Amino acid sequence: MNLSPTTHRAPAPRLRRAALVVATACFAAVRAGTAAPPPFSRATNAPAPSTRPASAPAQPSASRAPVILATTTSTQDSGLLDVLIPPFEARTGGAVKIIAVGSGQALALGERGEADLVLSHAPEAEEKFMAQGSGLLRRRLMYNDFILVGPAADPAGVHGSKHVAAALEAIVRSKAVFVSRGDDSGTHKMEKKLWSLAGVSPAPGPAYLETGQGMGAALRVASEKSAYTLTDRSTFLSLKQTLHLQVLFEGDLALRNEYHVIVVNPKNGPRVNVEGARALARYLLSKEGLARVRDFGRERFGQPLFVPDAEPYGDE
């Protein structure tokens, strides 16, 4: 039985194209030696970096070229990058320039040689990226989970569902509004996978809105429209005080959200800084980097926002 809701689609394709144009402009500006563009500056509301002593110094890049990190918006929106990146920059004397986009766009930048290191959470797309030779190595870094959030009134009766598929079916049957990122990000890929698991195919109409933007923007739209959305837990917790949304479904094993670091193959482009990418990857996977991941969020939220789950660094 097809439970397709009636929905309205925002101009997501145009927004996605615009995001790629801006991301490419970021890459050009960074390679030219200019400052990173404002749209992708790191968040400023994160907890102060830990003063934990360094335990595994990263090796500086001999070229001193900036390392271009293409990453999913959740690592920036949560404030994690403000804790992870400055210690690496201080130790190596080099710069890390961040392009925060959806995971699909981050992988596309790496494929075109417009990023040196990718930090994403789209396992199937990452595996394809590696299979086609676009990456030198891929390592697990951490995980958290996805959650379904929505208005406290919960008009769809999502709270109490036994499985995420049942929760999504309830949203469709009630004709409640669902906000999708619609941007080919890791979250959007997971959302589509979950709709398939539920046997539901959302169709254009007023009950299904695609923002074509990052997680923070999607949460704000959902809050304004008293709608449901799928989000990573870390971004939701970091923005919770500004939203009229509550966690209504969580805990299904299907909602696990894994993040990987990928060193881009220098064959993808002549300006790929593979040495700098390797140094940053080693740092992220070091005892110090993982400790910062483990501690991030404890003081502010009373719980960690990410769980370290790293594989040892190694060349391939």
Q: Give the integer Cα–Cα distance in Å for 96 and 67.
A: 5
Residue 315: its pLDDT value, please?
54
Q: What is the pLDDT of residue 53?
A: 38
- pTM assigned to the model: 0.76
Judge contact between 292 and 267, C-beta under 8 A. Answer: no
Q: Would you state the pLDDT for residue 174?
A: 95
The amino acid sitting at 235 is T
Res 52: pLDDT: 35
Within 10 A of 50 (CB to CB), how many other CB atoms are there?
Answer: 14
Q: Which long-range contacts (CB under 8 A, 24 or more apart) does 15-18 make?
A: 15/183, 15/211, 15/212, 15/213, 16/105, 16/182, 16/183, 16/184, 16/212
Residue-level pLDDT at 314:
67
* Other residues' Cβ atoms within 10 Å of the Cβ of residue 299: 10
Rounded to 10°, the helix 274-284/80-92 angle is 120
Q: Which CATH superfamily hosts domain 14-144+257-308?
A: Periplasmic binding protein-like II (3.40.190.10)
State the pLDDT at residue 123.
95
Percent of the chain with pLDDT over 70: 78
**Sequence-ordered list of residues with C-beta below 8 angstroms from that of 250, at least 6 positions apart, any chain:** 145, 147, 148, 233
CATH 3.40.190.10 residue window(s) in the chain: 14-144+257-308, 145-255
Residue type, 75: T
From the CB of residue 195, how many other CB atoms can be counted at a distance below 10 Å? Answer: 21
Check if the beta carbon of residue 267 is closer than 8 Å to that of residue 42.
no
pLDDT digits (tens, 9 = 90+) for 42-96: 333 333 333 333 434 444 434 468 999 999 999 998 999 999 999 999 999 999 9
For the stretch 110-134, pLDDT in tens is 999 999 999 999 999 999 999 999 9
Residue ranges for the chain with pLDDT beneath 50: 1-26, 34-63, 316
CATH superfamily placement of domain 145-255: Periplasmic binding protein-like II (3.40.190.10)
Q: Return the beta strands (E) in the chain as ranges.
A: 67-72, 96-101, 117-120, 135-150, 178-180, 208-210, 228-232, 246-249, 256-264, 307-308
